[in-house]
Amino acid sequence: VSGGHVAAIDLGATSGRVVLAHVSGSELRAETVARFPNTPVRTPDGLHWDVLGLYGAAVRGLGDAFRQAPGIASIGIDSWAVDYGLLRNGVLLGNPYHYRDERTSRGVLSVHSRMRHPDLYRRNGLQFLPFNTLYQFAAERRDVLDLANTALLIPDLVAYWLTGQARTELTNASTTGLLRVDDQRLDDDLFDRLGLRRSLLAPLIAPGESYGVLLDEVRAEIGAPGAVPVTAIGSHDTASAVVAVPMADAAASAYISCGTWGLVGLELPSPVVTDAAREAGFTNEGGVDSRVRFLHNVMGLWILSETVRGWEAKEGHAIDLPTLLDSAAEVPAASVPVFDVDDPRFLRPGDMPGRIDAWCDEHGVRPPRTRAEYARAIVESLADAFARNVHTAAQLAGVDVATIHIVGGGALNTLLCQRTADRSGLVVEAGPVEATALGNVLVQARAAGFAAGSLEALRDLVRRTHAPLRYTPTATS
């Protein structure tokens, strides 16, 4: 195969990007042609995504990509999971809610009054997270939900606007809670029990399949010369990230997809839905090529970025993150508290240092004092959660883990990578930073015939073109 170009739209919780890539059997070259902020908006009815702003920026980014490479053969879209837009006859009924919006708590009460979480877990295999789509549906206003005839997950909504085809991509569908963990089909009985119309979710589409080609008006707007297909990829960003984890041996590797969240776990051939897995908060999400993403959602770098955002708001100027992390590296690890990053109090936007103080007071430990100490405490607490969850995952799945891969923005955080190695006693291999976009690109490239083979072959290509950085554990943990 001679190779060719594909374009990826990758929407993260804090920023989005359009990536142009050239892929062949020996080449994986990806360049970010557009990057734009993702700034949630609070209105009196709650916290929302500015989905039109994101779509507009993504379309402009595609325009840039097509100017550089008019022969782009395919487009793929991924974003954070669980959130959706409601539509009536193709018209968006409002701005999608942000998964950090408070309304989800009433959805949880309503769903659990009909089915307890242990029973749900046996069916859908999902870690309890209050924002899983089924809880959000239960929190919607009844009149709005009755008006809607379709709910499209965020990447599927973008695909719909680009192609006019309404589908529900499988890996992201697995985060709704409405997909059966055993056979990856929508759980009709669960829809009934929750009083949801089965038709609310559009027909499923698997990674590698095509939604359809760009609508004529979109084609004109972005300057695409021909009928370009939008290809389904692992549209859940974490599913795409896992595709691009350069594991030499998936059976002996754990991964941490570390950005806003830290998704810590293993790729498995089949789900683990034991009581122990449920109690440890482990989820079984759908992966590309029917692999299972057995992982735990750790709160992630959100705690650090929200802390910094608070300081910046107070001071009225930007804080340089690398400088802050350098000063954090000077703080002795033993002098800062290790707090539970998964405590629900850290989920919503707000005063993170204040919440860390409260956690420390309740647990009888000294809170951090300086900014460097806060940053160090956050890094130590994340590294502790990462290390613990790798070992728990290995134990629950009966896997012997030799290497931890850290991909995503967290791979740039050398202190976090080293401390994860130290605290786990395992080698950490860091990178690629843009794993999500690369995973998006690779599955498209395979569908277009530019790269061939199993996930192992695709990962081998990532390893050859994006060699990870190695951190070995030191004795001081």
Q: Does 267 bind ligand LRH (CB under 6 A)?
A: no
Helix (H) or strand (E) holding 471: strand 469-471
**Residue 133 in contact with ligand LRH, rule: CB under 6 A:** no
Query: 195-234 mask for ligand LRH (x: CB under 6 A)?
Result: ----------------------------------------
Instruction: Name the catalytic one among 237, 249, 289, 357.
Output: 237
Q: Which residues contact 426 (CB under 8 A, 6 or more apart)?
A: 254, 387, 390, 401, 402, 403, 404, 473
Contact flag: residue 168 with ligand LRH (CB under 6 A): no
88-127 mask for ligand LRH (x: CB under 6 A)? -----------x----------------------------
Q: Least Å distance between CB 122 and ligand LRH? A: 20
Question: Is 83 a catalytic site residue?
Answer: no
Q: Is 260 in the site for ligand LRH (CB under 6 A)?
A: yes
Residue 231 phi, psi (nearest 5): -100, 135
21 or 81: CB nearest ligand LRH:
81
Q: Where are the alpha helices (DSSP H) in 49-127?
A: 51-68, 104-114, 117-124
Q: Which is nearer to ligand LRH, 100 or 355 (CB)?
A: 100
Shortest distance, position 19 Cβ to ligand LRH, whole Å:
16
Judged by CB under 6 A, the stretch of 218-226, 257-265, 356-364, 423-431 that binds ligand LRH is 257-265
Nearer to ligand LRH (CB atom), residue 237 or residue 380: 237
CA atoms within 13 Å, Cβ hemisphere of 448? 30
Q: What is the 3-state secondary structure (H, E, C) of 416-428?
A: HHHHHHHHHCCEE
User: Looking at 137-279, which runs of residues are DSSP E strands?
Assistant: 150-153, 168-169, 204-205, 210-213, 229-231, 253-258, 262-268
Q: Work out which of 80, 191, 282, 471 binds ligand LRH, going by CB under 6 A.
A: 80
Q: What is the DSSP letter of 141?
A: -
Interface region with ligand LRH, contact rule CB under 6 A, candidates 22-30, 75-83, 146-154, 308-316: 75-83
Length of the chain (residues): 477
Q: Tokens 């059976």 correspond to what residue?
A: 251
Contact 447, 208 (CB under 8 A): yes
Contact 34, 60 (CB under 8 A): yes
Of 383-412, binders to ligand LRH (CB under 6 A) are none
**SS3 at position 349:** coil
Catalytic residue list: 237
Residues of the shown chain interacting with ligand LRH in the complex, contacts defined by CB under 6 A: 13, 80-82, 99, 236-238, 260-261, 263, 297
